[in-house]
Amino acid sequence: MADNLLCNIIEQVQTICDKHGNNPGELINILHEAQHLMGYLPEDMQRAIARKLGIPVSKVYGVVSFYTFFTMTPKGRHPISVCMGTACYVRGAEKLLEEFKRQLGIEVGETTPDGKFSLDCLRCVGACGLAPVVMIGEKVYGRLQPIDVKKILDDFE
């Protein structure tokens, strides 16, 4: 990461902390807003938050690593989330996930080397009528089968 970009981001993080009164009780809300800046929470960002709130960085990392919503790896340009809710599972989500892994050559939680796609699982989008469901960016794809995966991926760029 370029130094000036990082400085800029750190400044924004500090503003977020100030907005929440530098209150350690607001840590989760602060992390939500901070993650919004870059899509993930790099180590430097966590250090800056810890310093600002006057708590050990281990506490911040403890919270970041506890909750699945927070991530320390950058997402791809088109983040893929395969719904692993029970309704999707019984309608074949696992096979769908296998196919995404195979087509992209990455595991869950990873990003393709070109930064185009990242692959994650999520627990219930709430569109169970369309199960199995996959979200790519903001778009929801419903009633998918492994056979559809290649075509969907090919449609991006």
Partner 1 sequence: MKIVSLNDLQQIKKKAESLLALREASDKEAQEQTCGLASGTPRIQVLTCGGTGCKASSSHIIAENFRKLLQRYGISDKIDVITTGCFGFCEKGPIVKIIPDNTFYTQVSPDDVEEIVSKHIISGNKVERLLYVDPKDGQHVSDSKHMDFYRKQMRIALRNCGTIDPENIEEYIARDGYMALADCLLSKTPMEVISIVKQSGLRGRGGGGFPTGLKWEFTHKQESDTKYVVCNADEGDPGAFMDRSIMEGDPHSIVEAMTVCGYATGASKGLVYIRAEYPLAIQRLRTAIKQARDYGLLGDRIFGTDFSFDIEIRYGAGAFVCGEETALIHSMEGKRGEPTLKPPFPAESGYLGKPTNVNNVETFANIPIILTKGPEWFASIGTEKSKGTKVFALAGKINNVGLIEVPMGTTLREVIYDIGGGIKNGKKFKAVQTGGPSGGCLTEKHLDTPIDFDNLLAAGSMMGSGGMIVMDEDDCMVSVARFYLDFTVEESCGKCTPCRIGNKRLLELLNKITEGKATEKDLEALSTLGRVIKDTALCGLGQTSPNPVLSTLDNFHEEYVEHVRDHKCRAKQCKALLTYSINPDLCIGCHLCFKHCPANAIAGDIRKPHSINPDLCIKCGMCMARCKFKAISVC
- Distance CA(24)–CA(4), nearest Å, equals 27
Between residues 48 and 88, which has the closer beta carbon with respect to partner 1? 88
Binding residue (CB under 8 A) for partner 1 from 15, 43, 145, 156: 145
For residue 56, the SS3 value is coil
Between residues 6 and 112, which has the closer beta carbon with respect to partner 1? 112
For residue 41, the SS3 value is coil
- Distance CA(94)–CA(77), nearest Å, equals 23
Site string for partner 1, 21-60 (x = CB under 8 A): --xxxxxxx-xx----------------------------
Binding residue (CB under 8 A) for partner 1 from 51, 79, 89, 116: 89
Residues 60 and 25 sit within 8 Å (Cβ to Cβ): no
For residue 117, the SS3 value is strand
- The reply to whether 79 sits near partner 1 by the rule CB under 8 A is no
Tokens of 149: 């995966």
- Which residues of this protein are in contact with partner 1, per CB under 8 A? 23-29, 31-32, 62-63, 66-70, 84-91, 94-95, 98-99, 102, 122-131, 133, 140, 142, 145-147
